[in-house]
Amino acid sequence: MRVKLVTFDVTNTIIKVLGSPGQQYASIGNLYGVTADPKDLNRAFIERWREQNKIHPNYGVTSGKSSYTWWTDIVKQTFSQAGFKGQEENLEAISGHLYKHFTSANAWDVLPYSHSVLQQLKDRGIMLGVISNFDSRLEKILMNLELLHYFQFILTSEKVKVAKPDKKIFIEALNLANISADDSFHIGDNVENDYFGALNAGMNSVLLATDISKLPNTVDKKFCISNLSELLNILK
């Protein structure tokens, strides 16, 4: 087969949050005189994110919420759970600041090999795209991290109104690229959302995994990589 299209997950595949969400929340909170322990904030963030995604999935796109409101709710609940007791207007200000902060390069770290692998694939004439469970800020984030120019399209779950592992978002990408599933690969770090999600849409799939021994037997280990540089060998 000749690979014509490669799509990427984003978070923990080509970029990751710098430090942790709790550290970022604590840092911005300090600017407004709000002191909270980063570890407490991180634990609270993880719990509130899971709950919010359960009640209002996909950044509230089907619940009548904007992604800004969706994230503002999480920020307020996270600080409250971490012990914040103060003025509501402080949390409003922190929420707005964090929403903008997470579009900047200061909030993210580009993972090793991302630039070099994307450039080499682009040099081969392969179309590159993004399929990510993310909100509408993603394009600006990738631009600020100097990654946007590698990709022909960016598909977010908020935009498509369906999230991985639903095969509809993968099929949307194939239709957008006008390339058959057989000639495409998707790369991501989540077994269900990325690996099986892409396979169920007929695409070839590569899983980025730090510990292959912990993966289920249904994952083909020949298509598992520990860092992005190994992707080049698979796509040969």
Percent of the chain scored above 90 by pLDDT? Answer: 92
Q: What is the pLDDT of residue 18?
A: 97
Residue-by-residue DSSP string for 71-94: HHHHHHHHHHHTT--S-HHHHHHH
What 3 state SS string does 90-139 have? HHHHHHHHHHHHCCCHHHEEECCCHHHHHHHHHHCCCEEEEEECCCCCHH
Tokens of 38: 């980063």
Fold exhibited by the domain 5-16+107-234: Rossmann fold (3.40.50)
Q: What is the pLDDT of residue 214?
A: 87
CATH number for the domain whose boundaries are 19-106: 1.10.150.720
Q: What mean pLDDT value characterizes the chain? A: 96
Burial label for 106, CB within 10 Å (0-12, 13-18, 19+), is: exposed
91 contacts 33 by C-beta, under 8 angstroms: no
Residue 236 has pLDDT above 90, yes or no: no
The mean pLDDT of 66-89, rounded to a whole number, is: 92
Position 62 confidence tier, pLDDT thresholds 50, 70, 90: confident
Boundaries of every domain in the chain: 5-16+107-234, 19-106
* DSSP tag of 229: G
Position 87 confidence tier, pLDDT thresholds 50, 70, 90: confident
φ and ψ at 5, to 5 degrees? -140, 135
Residue 86 has pLDDT above 90, yes or no: no
198 contacts 219 by C-beta, under 8 angstroms: no
Cα atoms found within 13 Å of the Cα of residue 75, Cβ hemisphere only: 28
What is the C-alpha to C-alpha distance for residues 62 and 55, in angstroms, rounded to an integer?
11
Residue 211 has pLDDT above 90, yes or no: no
Strands 153-156 and 127-132: parallel
pTM: 0.95
Residue 1 has pLDDT above 90, yes or no: no
Residue 92 has pLDDT above 80, yes or no: yes
Residue 210 has pLDDT above 90, yes or no: no
Residue 89 has pLDDT above 90, yes or no: no
What is the C-alpha to C-alpha distance for residues 46 and 24, in angstroms, rounded to an integer?
13
What is the C-alpha to C-alpha distance for residues 167 and 196, in angstroms, rounded to an integer?
9
If you count DSSP H runs as helices and E runs as strands, how many of each does the chain have, helices first? 10, 8
The mean pLDDT of 166-189, rounded to a whole number, is: 98
Strands 5-8 and 127-132: parallel
